[in-house]
Amino acid sequence: MSTFSISGLASGLDWNSMITQLVAVERKPITLLEERQTTLSEEKSAWNEVNTMLASLKTAAGSLSSLEDFDVFTPSATVIGTGTDVEDLLGYAVGSNASEGSYSITINHLATAQKLVSGSLSSSSEALGISGDITINDREVSIAATDSLSDIQTKINALNSGDNPADVTASIIAISDSEYHLTLTSKNTGADGMSITDGTGALGLTELVAGQDAEIIVDGFTITRSTNTITDVISGVTLDLVGEDTGATITLNVNRDNDGIKEKIQEFVDSYNELMSYIDKQNTASGDGETTGTLFADSSLRSVKTTLRDVILSEVSGLNSTLDHLSFIGINIDRYGQLSIDDDELDGFLQTNFEDVVNLFVAQGSSTSSDLTYIYSTDSTTMEGDYEVEITQTATKAGTVGSGFSGTLGSDTTLILTGSGGTEENISLTAGMDMDAIVAAINAGNTLGITAQNDSGQLSLSSGSYGSSGNFTVAGISAELGIADSTYTGIDVAGRIREQGASEWMTMTGKGQTLTGDDDQGVDGLVIKYTGTTTGTLDFTFTKGIGEKLDQALYTMTDSIDGYVANKQDSLQNQIDNIDEKIDAMEVRLTMYQKTLIAKFSTMESMLSTLQSQQSWLTSQIDTLSSGWE
C-alpha cells in the first residue's frame, strides 16, 4: 500500500511513525505464520530428499527381489587349432536365462544368402521391350514393354514393404556402357533361398551364389540353422557366427558373475546406510540443544526407519533356521543401524551356497509336484509359508476332429476360422487336395494359433492356447471334412488355495493353465501355473526374501499417488496453502487497519489546522480591539 502524507504539520506529532509501529504490532501474527510456512517448506524439501533416497533403495532392493535378478553371467572364450582370433570366428552374448557351463564349438559353414544374376542387357535406362509377371517369394510384379532395367529394379525393391515383404534386393551391375546385369539377393540367409518365377522369360536368371545354412558342431552334435545369429542351441546364449574354420575348436565358458551379484548387494547396503544416516542426522540436536534437524522427532520419519529396520532384521520364513537371516551370509547391522558386509563370508556363500543367498532375497514358490509352478506375485501378495492348492478342473484346449473324409477333396470350398477375439480368416481349399495338402493350406493360411493335423486321414483342428482364450469357430467345411459349423471351446483351469492346516479356502481365478489369487486376500496377485491332467490337492510353498519385502515396503512409501511420502508431502503442501490464504486475508485486514489509522490522524490534523486558523483569527481580532481601547 502506498500513501502520501506529512504527519505532524498541525499536531507536531510524528503519527506516521506511530502508525508504522502500530501496524508492526498487528503484523506479528502474520510474521509467525510466515515463519511457520518457511518451516513447513523446509520439511517438505527434507521429505523430498527422503523420497529420493527411498526410491534409490527401492531400485537397489528391486534388483535383488526375483530369481532373474541373480541370473548374471560372464562369458569368455578361447580357441585352439587355428591362428585366427576368437572374435574373428564367433561373437557371443549371455542372457538372464543362461546357466553355467562349458561348450566346445566348431564352425564348419556360415549361412549365406542366395544371389541370382540376369543375362547381359544392353542398357539400364532404355525400354527393354519385355513384358510379363515376375513372382518373387509369393509377391508379384508386372513388367511392361516400356520398362527399363532401372524401372524393373525399382519395382522389385518396392516389394519389400507391407505385411508380406519379398525380402529380395535388386541391384544393377554395369560391366560396360553396353553390358548391364540385374542381380537379386535374398535378404535372408539359408539353403531355402528365394522362390522366383520369371514370367517374362527374358531375364535369363541364373544362380550366382547358392544359399547355404550355417553348420556348427556343439559338444559333438552337428547343428544347422538358416541364420548366422543362433539363439536356440545353448539356453540363454546368443551365438553370432563371424567366420568359419573346420580345424578350429572354440571353448565357450559361461560362468556365474558373483562379482556382479556382490556389487548389487553392495549398492543395496550403501543405499540403506545413506538413508539411515540421513534419518539419524535429522534426529540429532546440537551440543547446546539450540539447533536440530528439519525433521527432528518427526513420528512419520521414525515410522519409516522402524519399518525398514524391521524388514532387514526379519527372518525369511520357509528357510533353514541357520540360513534365514541376512547376518548368516555376512550382512550385519551394528548398534547405529548401519549395514556392513563381511567380504570373506559373503564370497564364500556365493561360491558354495549360491542358492541360499538367492533364497534370502527373492520371492519364489515351489511344490513337490512338477506340474505346479510359481509364476510371479505382486505388492498385494502378503501370504508366506506352506499352502495347499486344490485343482478342481484341469485346463484343456479347444479342438475337434472330423470324420468321413474320403481321401481327396471333391470340390472347392472355403474354410472360415474365427478366433476368440473375433478375427476371421478365410482359407481356400481346392478340389483334389489330399489331407496333407489340406493341413498345409490351413496351417499356412491362419494366424490365429490354430493348428491343423492329419489324424489317421481325418482333419484335426486344435488351439495352441489353453482355456477360453483359445476358443475358435469353424464354418464352411462340414460337407466333406465332417467338422460341424460350430464354436469349439477350451476350459480354463479352476482351483483354490489355503494355508496348511487352515479350514477356510482362498479363491483364485483361472485363465488357461494359470491361477491368480483374487483381490483382498493374502494371495491377492499370486500367479501359479498347473500343467497336469488330473485334479487333486498339491503342496505349495511361497517365500518372500528381504529384497522382495523391502521392495514392497518401499512401494507403499514411494508410490507417487497413494504412497506414504506422497501423502505426507500433500499434507505439508495443504498446510502451506492454508497459511497462504490466512496471510492474504490478514494482509487485507491490516491494509484496512492502516488506512483507517491514516484517515483518523489526517482528520485530526485537519481539525487541528482549522482550530489553529480560528485561534489565529481570534487572536488577531482581540489584538485589534485591544489596540483600539488604548
Reported CATH class of domain 1-72+259-362+545-630: mainly alpha
Residues 424 and 416: beta-carbon distance below 8 Å = yes
Indicate the fold that domain 115-209 takes in CATH.
Alpha-Beta Plaits (3.30.70)
- pTM, rounded to two decimals: 0.74
pLDDT for 379 equals 82
Domain ranges within the chain, ordered by starting residue: 1-72+259-362+545-630, 73-111+213-256, 115-209, 364-394+493-544, 397-488
Mean pLDDT in residue range 364-376: 94
pLDDT for 470 equals 95
Residues 438 and 425: beta-carbon distance below 8 Å = no
pLDDT tens, residue by residue, 253-273: 999 999 999 999 999 999 999
Helices 354-361 and 546-558 cross at an angle (nearest 10°) of 20
**DSSP letters spanning 456-502:** TTEEEEEEEEESGGG-EEEES-HHHH---SEEE--B--EEEEEETT-
* Nearest C-alpha neighbor of 430 from the set 445, 418, 449: 445
pLDDT for 623 equals 77
Radius of gyration of the chain (CA): 42
Mean pLDDT in residue range 204-223: 95
Q: Is the pLDDT of residue 2 over 80?
A: no
Q: How is residue 392 written as a grid cell?
A: 478342481
Mean pLDDT lowest among 64-78, 284-298, 352-366, 446-460:
284-298
pLDDT tens, residue by residue, 132-182: 999 999 899 999 999 999 999 999 999 998 878 999 999 999 999 999 999
| 69 three-state secondary structure | helix
∠ CA 579-585-588, nearest 5°, is: 140
pLDDT for 288 equals 67
pLDDT for 385 equals 87
pLDDT for 88 equals 97
Quickly count: other Cβ atoms within 10 Å of residue 73's Cβ.
Answer: 20
Q: Is the pLDDT of residue 6 over 90?
A: no
* Nearest C-alpha neighbor of 554 from the set 312, 328, 390: 312
Residues 466 and 513: beta-carbon distance below 8 Å = yes
**Mean pLDDT estimate for the chain:** 91
pLDDT-above-70 percentage for the chain: 97
Q: Which residues contact 604 (CB under 8 A, 6 or more apart)?
A: 11, 15
Cα–Cα dist 136/124, whole Å: 21
